[in-house]
Chains A and B, each alone.
Chain A
């Protein structure tokens, strides 16, 4: 690999810094990319570099073209041999936990590993611009990020001066929201989840924002006492309705139970704005007529 006797022209390289402040040396002209997370795959397509993807995970199901790309396992168990065989210039990784195991192996094979783990809207936009820079599609990335930021700004404008219309709202008109991830056992979002912020940006307040960990399993007794004004279901086969603990809640009695595609809610990527728009419309339909 590292012998200097080959007649290959030397590729121009440059150094970029990833989210963990690692210095990563990459080709100036990146042509072959592997993504190990569905949110990064979506972002790479969004900045117009989807055609460089040579390997993605089995979870990467969006956009439609992503399904045609070779799979290298799932996010938790990517197959090293498949990745090395693809000869990518760079592998995008979303979690620090993935990295320790195979950074060494990949780098020994001359493959750069870039970690980016956006956890809120601002970081998603930043990550989109960075990906554009790395993949040489900076202009497209800027346009995409600007458009997304404008949509967020539009939601903020629409949600000004919320009326105090329901009993389960705060004084400023924000709705008390419970986000249900799984019906049985009852999982919700906790302090470690970026979704509290999304709910807040959509004119709600997450009733479980103080509970430790990102996706805690909570006591049904607590669920009864939360008294949500609206329930958001992350759509999955076993999460089609609210847990029985909510049967007497305002949200269920008033029919304020809403379903949002689980991929939209769980992926800090460009479609997070779609999720935010949906939640905002559900919580404050009168503001989006």
Chain B
């Protein structure tokens, strides 16, 4: 798998709007490679890994194959946070991810609070709350877009569709830090998640601190999704499809599903973004459009197979 990731990263680095020779790069070509292409590929890998591990963690936690950052309002919370940074603050590199993380966290807490009843936590209620929070946040986002002037609206729309073109070296550090921390947290909870997939009752009997696991998984998901959305907007389908593909290959043990999701997610987004960068060069497509084009048919295929 890591070998495949290496191949995808290398071929992505060789492909782009401008053709680069393998050796003897001029100063200008070096700038294209190191300042523009590589940060973007690395950011794509971080974003893909983030969305996929968040999807894997949430699906196991909620025992629901459809659970993923978008459905549960995490992504829209992050999108709204980013948008607030966009509209009300001079979108500094650090305000965006911070507000995105805050938005993702608040949305998750809101969904969780709504879903929690005296009888405990019921998965159907949780998904329903997620849908409600998602649509509510969407409507706020739409309302805010009407406040943007035409120029801001254009760049925001592009960002909303998922766009990796704004990759910067600092942005890569932020995303890389978030995805490493988030993956480690999820890995540390992998055994507990395995037990929770059987059922919360059983997990509880096995001595799993269900409430703590839930907090950690939600927190990690908010962290990685916040960083991913702040960096690249809404790249869809990654959190939904990648964990499914991984489970088909390695089974449902989260000790394998989480790390493999990270790798496959990175491969998927870097591959999609390479298409986005080259298909209509020198113009570009938003990467979210490409992941949806690949992801939607793939998902339908997976559904029919099961």
Please report the C-alpha to C-alpha distance between residue A72 and residue B159 in the assembled complex, in whole angstroms.
30
User: Is there contact, CB below 8 Å, between A237 and B283?
Assistant: no
Output the least CB separation between B27 and chain A (Å).
7
In the complex, chain B residues 132-170 whose Cβ is within 8 Å of any chain A Cβ:
149-152, 154-155, 158-159, 163, 165-166, 168
Whole-angstrom distance between the Cβ of A250 and the nearest chain B Cβ: 11
Cβ-defined contact, A236 with B149, below 8 A = yes
Instruction: Flag if B152 contacts A238 (CB, 8 Å).
Output: yes
- Is the CB–CB distance between B149 and A218 below 8 Å? no
Query: Would A182 and B155 count as touching, CB distance under 8 A?
Result: yes
A219 touches B151 (CB 8 A): no
Whether B18 and A222, one on each chain, are in contact in the complex, defined by CB atoms closer than 8 angstroms, is yes
Q: Considering the chains assembled together, what is the distance between the CA atoms of A253 and B202 in angstroms? A: 67
The distance in angstroms between the C-alpha atoms of A262 and B150, with both chains bound, is 11
Q: Of B31-39, B120-128, B179-187, B248-256, which binds chain A?
A: B31-39
Stretch at the interface among A4-12, A122-130, A167-175, A183-191: A183-191
| B16 contacts A by Cβ under 8 Å | yes
Q: How many residues of B contact A (CB 8 A)?
A: 27
Give a binary string over B172-200; 1 marks a CB under 8 Å from any A CB, 0 the rest. 00000000000000000000000000000
- A222 engages B166 (CB within 8 Å): no
What distance in Å separates the Cβ of A207 from its nearest Cβ neighbour in chain B?
A: 11
Query: Which residues does chain B contribute within 8 Å of A182, judged by CB atoms?
Result: 151, 154-155
* Selected A-B contacts with CB under 8 Å, 27 pairs: A59-B150, A184-B155, A186-B165, A187-B155, A211-B283, A215-B154, A216-B282, A217-B158, A218-B284, A219-B17, A219-B165, A219-B281, A219-B282, A219-B284, A221-B32, A221-B37, A222-B17, A222-B18, A222-B282, A224-B32, A227-B28, A236-B152, A237-B149, A244-B35, A245-B36, A248-B28, A248-B31
Known interface pairs A219-B282, A227-B28, A236-B149; 15 further A-B residue pairs with C-beta atoms within 8 A, sorted by A's residue number: A184-B155, A219-B16, A219-B165, A219-B281, A221-B17, A222-B281, A224-B18, A224-B28, A224-B32, A224-B36, A225-B32, A236-B152, A237-B152, A239-B151, A244-B168
